[in-house]
Structure 1
Amino acid sequence: MTPRFIIASLAAGACALAVSVSAQEVQPLAERTAQSDLPLEGARAAMHLDHVTLAITVDPENERISGEGRYRIAVSQDLDHLALDLDPRYAISGVAVGGTELEASAWRNPDGLLQIDLPDPVSAGDVVDLSVRYAGQPHVAANPPWDGGFVWSETPDGEPWIATAIQGEGCDTFWPCIDHSAHRIDTIDLLVTVPDGLVAAGNGGLVETTENEDDTTTYHWRARDPSNYGVTLQIGPYEVAQRDYASRFGNVIPLRFWHLPGNEEGAERLLDEMEDQIAFMEATFGPYPFADEKAGIAETPHLGMEHQTINAYGNQFKPEAYGHDWLLQHEFAHEWFANQLTHASINHMWLHEGITTWTQPLYLEWSRGEMLYDAEMWENRQRVWSRVPLVPPEGTLPDYNDRQAQWGDDIYFKGAWIMHSLRYLVGDDVLFPAITRLTYGTNDPQPGEIRPLNRTTEDFRAILEEMSGRDLAWFFDAYFYQAPLPRLESAYDGTDLLLEWQTPSDLPFEMPVEVEIDGERVTLPMTGGRGRLELESTSRHVLLDPANRVLRYDAAVEAYQNRNR
């Protein structure tokens, strides 16, 4: 997802981008539908969606959709009913199991948990065919992509321009699904029917386009291993800029950009940038995960979102002082850190956003040099709040939009700074290979052999400890499971400089500290969280952590944040 700090700066530009928005009054979602990653319990925990065929007809004039989901479901426990998540605002017109239509009394969906009684119980290991037909007006996004849903808009020429942005709200806002990060579908066929003149850009590869007799066109897309919130609708009077990219791994990646008419030059420029970004990401982390399908972008009436193989882009092709489009780079990096490496639950969302945010200064370092890396990291540091733990306790569901807790900022900027500090602690030779293994499950990922993984923060710790040969419990506890940042206290004992780390953790914080004395640098190991350095005089000029490599409490940053709330 796009970082939230850019909301204010986009207020004026958004008006020129999308000249009208939905006529619907925004109604709140049902409590269950509004929250992704509710615990997998009961039938939802025992169901795996081997294949989904999702056929959706989009009616821009009435801002309605009608759909049918056809499912092949493998069950791992004995069940007498099935359960899917679906916004209860939709009217369900029919449900069938094994091709047999059920009576309306066999299903119910009062609160967003669609429960379907089976005609006959099924056993563990069975496969069930299910279809659900539904229709209605989808929830309208109040402030996409942060407060998401459907976006009904118009292009500057008055044509319908439609998008979904549902990361926080989940797939159940527009189709029946299992709305949990740990659940992925093996394959999906997405058939989107729109009025003639519109194009539906979708996930995966285009199978066929069918012109119907009722002045509509159906676009058939097929994708493997999609994340639930990564399944998307991107609809407009699109044209396509396209080329192929020869990867360093020997394969060819189709690049496709669905853009509004008149934006051909900007789309071609961004495809140039995407080629450079692929070169960086593949050299740094590993192969583009979905090269067998495409690397796709769709121009959208909202800012952006990392939909798998069809990222939403709404940054208006604006040039940047550092020479590339930050939004394009951010969302594209999510193909690695969100779509390939997916958090096992929303509690570990920093894995998506923090690592992706860190790729931005890394890319600047790679393309423009060290100064831009440092400048970007300093900008990020000013947005680290650390009021709540970065990884909330299991059983709690954090609120991305809670302005008091600011967890929604910390998953980006604190997450990026933790990666920056890890780089200092374990070194590039450990950290980057560890990220590769975390992302792909192997040290040597190859195109054609890659499948997405669900990961936790503890998975990352285990890999780092194995590859570094260090116990890193103290680091992970202080940064991920405690809210306050570590504080570095200093004092003098005669001419000796005494340093001590203070954290709420029960484990000593043993982060080494670099100290600069009159221009010369030494590193204190801080065993047990303490260190002593002999000085010739207390009048010497001393800098602690002169390269700003360690994420720690900073009174000046806190004062700045308090003044600029």
Structure 2
Amino acid sequence: MRYFSAVFFITFFSLQPIMAQVLSNKQSFTEADTLRGSLRPERNFDVLKYHLNVKVQPEERFISGFNTITFKAEEDLPIMQIDLFANMQVDSILYRGEKMDYDRKFDAVFVEMLPEISQSTVDSLQFFYSGNPVVAKNAPWDGGFVFDKDEEGNHFIAVAVQGTGASLWYPNKDHQSDEPEEALIEVAVPNDLMNVSNGRFIGKEVLKDGYTQWNWKVDSPINNYNIVVNIGNYVHFSDTYKDLDLDYYVLPYNLEKAKTQFEEVKVMMDCFYEKFGAYPFEKDGFKLVETPYLGMEHQSAVAYGNEYKKGYLGNDLSGTGIGLKWDFIIIHESGHEWFGNSITAKDIADMWIHEGFTTYSEAVYIECRWGKEEALEYLQGIRQSIGNTSALIGSYGVNSEGSGDMYSKGANLLNTIRSIYDDDELWWKTLKDYTETYRHCTITSQMTEEFFDKAVATDLKPVFDQYLRFSGIPVLQLKKDQDGFSYRWKADVEEFKMPVDVLIGGKELRLQATDEWQTYPGNVNLREIRVNEPEFYVNTAVVD
């Protein structure tokens, strides 16, 4: 019991918000939420490229620099909304060499475009800024910079802003629906430190003021919150997997541990390539970067702070022991490269697409290495963290996520869908087709639901509706009658229907259950009926 309590505590107070700082459970929303979360006319432009150039002063906890935003106007654009947290200073905004007038409201900056930008115009503006960014109190569970020191007293700095917003530290169009096609990231830090950002390292330049600028180039679409700085006294080592470059940046005293621990990456790639398709960002390579916080899925520069332990900081979130066989942060955060980074929810209300699929990828990895039975046991184990108190999908247009159940409940929903398919060859084909069809795309929950629904004869619409848009899960009701037993679903969705496998006297039977009573003939003791719980996440109740 003591071990279970520790796992329960970690699950509820650590895992649920991890990598999703948006889990605020807000019920009402403000104008600031709408400015951040909606696609207003002032956001009618497509970001093509960011050129981010910043200087980080560790002692002062101060950053300064500019972001050149190249864009294409999707409509006539008299005013542009660029997002930057209110505590950061706007130094100037240049368009075609001229300083632009602007207004600020909450965390949005409204730039008056004179002359007005016409539809389909491709252009750029340069946004200079500075200030002391928000410092995270407990990253990654809240957003902000982490200004720390390593064991040898060197500055150890990183940033994690998912949900909170990349505009916390640099100006951008801070909405998940729009990703620049490329990014140039130039970061100046004191000479005794290194900066590691996303993409490929393209060189460094020693400046005249005791600083060195480290330059990185991203050649794939990338979401705002994935663009990062990682600053420390790093050492670098590398490896390859097929044609993919693997690069690792760690603190010197952890080098030997890292060389051993990170061997799991190639084992993971074997599994994920088979089940999800090739790594989505081969042009930018794959990196693990040691950070002063637990972890985050930063594209091509995955943040790693799991202390070179198996499990989740040495704990098993499933309570089964299976979670102690592998490094949680390596597997979970790298799984996000497919689900979250390559396939991105347009609105964070649909963040279950990120977290449900990625949590399911943990079970996929277990199945690749240790078999389906252990994968199902793990999925059952993580159900202990599910509260079923609010819907997985949040409110659209106001930067609002759904329930923290999106992790474990989302994964168990996918496992239930697989069981409904009842055809593993079709399931794995559909899952890989999904990752390849929507590679480097921003999508909606509806697009995801329709994709998996079209691949199978069974109507999955009521299943997705129940698990995503209502707090509870369906209950299979059973009752004894003269001719055998009767069964039906009790659910929130009208005319709910879903097949389910049950065991009767050790024999498996598939019931095509609906919300209407149906009868199964025969002399059956209700206590002998067992739902195949490892494969179907449902409840069961005997009624009079």
User: Which residue of 489, 497, 500 corresponds with 1:513?
Assistant: 500
**Mapped partners of 1:521, 1:477: distance in 2:** 27
User: Which residue of 328, 331, 335 corresponds with 2:330?
Assistant: 328
Q: Which 5+ residue runs of structure 2 have no aligned equivalent?
A: 1-6, 16-28, 312-320
* AA in 1 matched with 2:233: P
Match of 1:208 in 2: 203
Match of 2:280 in 1: 289
Match of 2:314 in 1: none
* AA in 2 matched with 1:351: I
Shift in CA distance, 417/458, structure 1 to aligned 2, threshold 3 Å? same
Match of 2:426 in 1: 430
Following superposition, the deviation at residue 147 of structure 1 comes to 1.0
Q: CA RMSD in A?
A: 2.4
Deviation string for 1:179-210 (max 9, x for gaps)?
A: 11111011110000000111111111111111
Q: Does 1:551 align with 2:537?
A: yes
**Mapped partners of 1:428, 1:31: distance in 2:** 46
Deviation string for 1:534-560 (max 9, x for gaps)?
A: 23353x8513213432222379xxxxx
Native 8 Å contact 1:33 1:169 kept in 2: no
User: Which residue of 83, 86, 89 corresponds with 1:85?
Assistant: 83
Match of 2:56 in 1: 58
Could you tell me the TM-score, scaled by structure 2's length? Answer: 0.88
**Mapped partners of 1:537, 1:525: distance in 2:** 18
User: Which residue of 442, 445, 465 corresponds with 1:477?
Assistant: 465
**Mapped partners of 1:324, 1:387: distance in 2:** 30
**Mapped partners of 2:467, 2:113: distance in 1:** 47
Native 8 Å contact 1:516 1:546 kept in 2: yes
| 157-166 vs 475-484, greater mean Cα deviation | 475-484
Shift in CA distance, 100/467, structure 1 to aligned 2, threshold 3 Å? same
**Mapped partners of 2:205, 2:252: distance in 1:** 22
* AA in 2 matched with 1:516: L
Native 8 Å contact 2:418 2:427 kept in 1: yes
**Mapped partners of 2:248, 2:417: distance in 1:** 36
| 297-306 vs 493-502, greater mean Cα deviation | 493-502
Shift in CA distance, 168/397, structure 1 to aligned 2, threshold 3 Å? closer
Native 8 Å contact 2:488 2:514 kept in 1: no
Spell out the pairing of 1:27-106 with structure 2 (5 A cutoff).
38-44=37-43, 46-102=44-100, 106=101
* AA in 2 matched with 1:49: V
Q: Does 1:262 align with 2:253?
A: yes
- SS at 1:241's partner residue? strand
| 455-464 vs 34-43, greater mean Cα deviation | 34-43
Shift in CA distance, 466/10, structure 1 to aligned 2, threshold 3 Å? closer
User: Which residue of 201, 224, 229 corresponds with 1:233?
Assistant: 229
Shift in CA distance, 288/94, structure 1 to aligned 2, threshold 3 Å? same
User: Which residue of 10, 17, 29 corresponds with 1:6?
Assistant: 10
Spell out the pairing of 1:431-450 with structure 2 (5 A cutoff).
431-441=427-437
Deviation string for 1:333-388 (max 9, x for gaps)?
A: 00000111101111110110011001112211210223421331122111121211
User: Which residue of 142, 146, 149 corresponds with 1:151?
Assistant: 146
Native 8 Å contact 1:35 1:169 kept in 2: no
* AA in 1 matched with 2:380: W
User: Which residue of 187, 192, 199 corresponds with 1:197?
Assistant: 192
Match of 2:216 in 1: 221
**Mapped partners of 1:4, 1:332: distance in 2:** 24
Native 8 Å contact 2:347 2:396 kept in 1: no
Shift in CA distance, 370/502, structure 1 to aligned 2, threshold 3 Å? same
Native 8 Å contact 1:524 1:533 kept in 2: no
Following superposition, the deviation at residue 506 of structure 1 comes to 1.0
Q: Which 5+ residue runs of structure 1 have no aligned equivalent?
A: 12-29, 247-251, 401-406, 443-450, 556-565
Deviation string for 1:193-239 (max 9, x for gaps)?
A: 00011111111111111112221111111112111111111111001
Native 8 Å contact 1:344 1:454 kept in 2: yes
Native 8 Å contact 1:36 1:169 kept in 2: no
* AA in 1 matched with 2:532: P
User: Which residue of 438, 449, 470 corresponds with 1:461?
Assistant: 449
Q: Percent identity?
A: 27
Following superposition, the deviation at residue 298 of structure 1 comes to 0.8
Q: Does 1:361 align with 2:363?
A: yes
Match of 2:380 in 1: 378
Native 8 Å contact 2:48 2:181 kept in 1: yes
**Mapped partners of 2:344, 2:351: distance in 1:** 8
- SS at 2:284's partner residue? coil
Q: Does 1:274 align with 2:235?
A: no
Following superposition, the deviation at residue 526 of structure 1 comes to 1.8
